[in-house]
Amino acid sequence: MCGRTACTLGPDEICQACSVRTMKDGKKQYQAPEWRDHPGGKSYTTSYNIAPSRFTPVIISDHHVRGVKRQSDDEVLSPQRIIQPMMWGLIPPFYKGSSPTGHGLTTNNCRVEDIEEKKSYKPSLIKGQRCVVLCDGFYEWQAIKGEKTKQPYFVYAPQPEGIEIWNRESWDKPGVWSEDEGWRGPQLLKIAGLFSFWISTEDWLDFGRIGYKEALTNLTNEVELTWHPVSTAVNNSRNQEPNINVPVSLDKKPPETASSKLMSAWLSKGSAKKDNSALKDMKREPGKTEAPEHYEEKEKKPSPFSKWIKKESDDNANDN
């Protein structure tokens, strides 16, 4: 996961999208988890372009809220799921400052490879403070050779036929959820996470029964993700247009928004100044020689995401 997400469903819709099939009065029905407001009064606001430090919904076990519930002295009841907003970015347990973001560390992403060594994450892991982060999807950027601006992609879970998670009109209809049939709208992306005060689904949430070492072994990438290129307007977190994660064609220039037009004008003005400055430098140094013709700029190694995109493109070409 990278540093920007989208989460556009309201609280009720998020709970319905996370409903599970249960037995109620001897009949199988779908039950939506409870929404719990943030205890500190922080609210969740839907957005197409979410940066770290914003409050977004996560699933946790109710044992972290109400304490471990028991049916008897020997039998612990299974945890129930609760959804509540949490700030994106773990507050390290050793941090003693007054501001939740004043620690100066980047804690919005955690690698499973070193999670047991990092003093920022290990205490939450040991205490069973595991959660599931909910979102429509996240954004990832691919560097393009010869281009200054990276191409953003929107990465999300596979969707039911006919549903476009970025297009609300494709699914927001009567009967999108019922106790008999469950949720029939878009599928949210569910990401394993840690919190410094909370938890999430199934074995990952059941910290009383599943130890952290066993929970870590269950973190496998079993779901194939889907992606498509989106407008470069997502590069600026201030851009909140509702069509920011709609697919765009890479064969033609994507439509400009009011924000992107302003940015283009500003960049063009800055480029002109830069070019004039370069000419002045050349006039001041007439004896300066140009770089040899055989000189080539050292090429950067492709990022893992670039390799992923290339592999999918090669596979599709082979299939065709």
Q: Which residues are catalytic?
A: 2, 140
Which residue pairs from 210-216 have beta carbons closer than 8 angstroms and sit at least 24 positions apart in sequence?
Answer: 212/125, 212/126, 212/128, 212/130, 215/130, 216/112, 216/115, 216/116
Residues 6+ apart with CB under 8 A from 154: 6, 137, 138, 139, 166, 227, 228, 230, 234, 245
Residues 6+ apart with CB under 8 A from 130: 124, 192, 193, 194, 195, 199, 200, 204, 205, 207, 212, 215
Distances (CA, A) of 210 to 100, 125, 127, 215: 30, 12, 12, 6
Note whether 30 and 183 are within 8 A (CB). Answer: yes
Give the phi and the psi of residue 10 in degrees, each rounded to 5: -75, 170
